[in-house]
Amino acid sequence: MNDERNHLISLGTDKVVKIWHLHNYFCIQTITDKMCYRPDDVLTSLHFDKWTNNIVLGSRKVNFWVFKTQEEIKTSHEFPVAFALYNTEFESIVSGDDGGFIAVWDIENGKLMSRYKATSELKPKLTAGCFDSTQRRMVTAAEGGYCRIWNFSNGQILKMVERECTVGTEIKSTQQIDEEVTGLCCMFKPPAEDEDPNDVKDADFVAVGWDKRVRIWRDDRGEEGGSDATKDIVRIHRNKDWPQMDTKSTVAKESHKADIMTLCYDWVN
């Protein structure tokens, strides 16, 4: 027993050691001893030394396995990483995890520059992310298909993304973009070498996911005052879904038959 971590350690006749968590009874680690012992290739005893954090195994000789605690295992995130992006403008790595946290890392030395919460407590899991054409803003998707636009460097939320949908005979808006968003990207024409890299025209964001649809919205930053953008909200129009649904047509349009897992974009002149 490892009383400090609430772990039960067991040894099988096949020389496999398993570590179990007593709260949920899940096997959290499996260790196999590949050493061959003669004349009998078996392990006969097991003991956990709480003073040295060693697993002690007995056969014809005594083996010591170092058991590292969670505090000794250094990781970049406390939760599984959902995505990682490289920002060429600021030369940094931005990563998001299942706990809803965004971390910004210095590419030169690997140090954490900033960290902030990007989701609500009810829907904490991040599922996808991408940068805009200027690399200054980031779009994230959270569990349940909700998208937000951020200033990625300081964690300031800039806009919520909504989608038009038909409820009966009325057209309404919902913040649920997809049943679950699995991929995001920004489509734009790269500026020429003699052009201002921040002066990008006709940039669009694309989201895909479990709805088997490709959804597009214009990245107008709310500066033109168009009907699809307000100060705090950017809206995806119904006619920006691929494929378009035509209830009057009897011809089935090509589309994904299963959940869309990811996407990418490449500009070709």
pTM of this prediction? Answer: 0.65
Cis amide linkage into residue 80, ω under 30° from 0: no
The reported pLDDT for the residue numbered 226 is 41
Check if the beta carbon of residue 11 is closer than 8 Å to that of residue 46.
Answer: yes
| Model pLDDT for residues 107-135, shown as the tens digit of each residue | 988 899 989 888 877 778 999 999 998 89
| Model pLDDT for residues 204-255, shown as the tens digit of each residue | 999 999 988 899 988 876 444 344 445 678 877 766 666 665 555 555 566 7
pLDDT at 45 over 50: yes
The reported pLDDT for the residue numbered 168 is 73
Task: List, by residue range, all CATH 2.130.10.10 domains of the chain.
Answer: 81-242
Determine whether 162 is exposed, middle or buried from the number of CB atoms within 10 Å of its CB (0-12, 13-18, 19+).
buried
Closest CA to 128 of 218, 233, 261, 267: 261
Distance CA 22, CA 220 (A): 53
Q: Read off the pLDDT of each residue in 22-36 and give the average, rounded to a whole number.
A: 84
> Looking at domain 81-242, which of 2.130.10.10, 3.40.630.30, 3.40.50.740, 3.10.620.30 is its CATH number?
2.130.10.10
The residue ranges of DSSP E strands in 126-237, in sequence order, are 126-131, 137-142, 146-151, 156-167, 170-174, 181-187, 204-209, 214-218, 233-236
Specify the range with the lowest mean pLDDT, choosing from 25-29, 82-86, 178-182, 189-193.
189-193
Distance CA 18, CA 26 (A): 10
Which helix (H) or strand (E) segment holds residue 106: the answer is: strand 101-106
Which two structure tokens, joined as six digits, stand for 89? 């403008």
Distance CA 152, CA 146 (A): 17
Q: What's the residue count for the chain?
A: 269
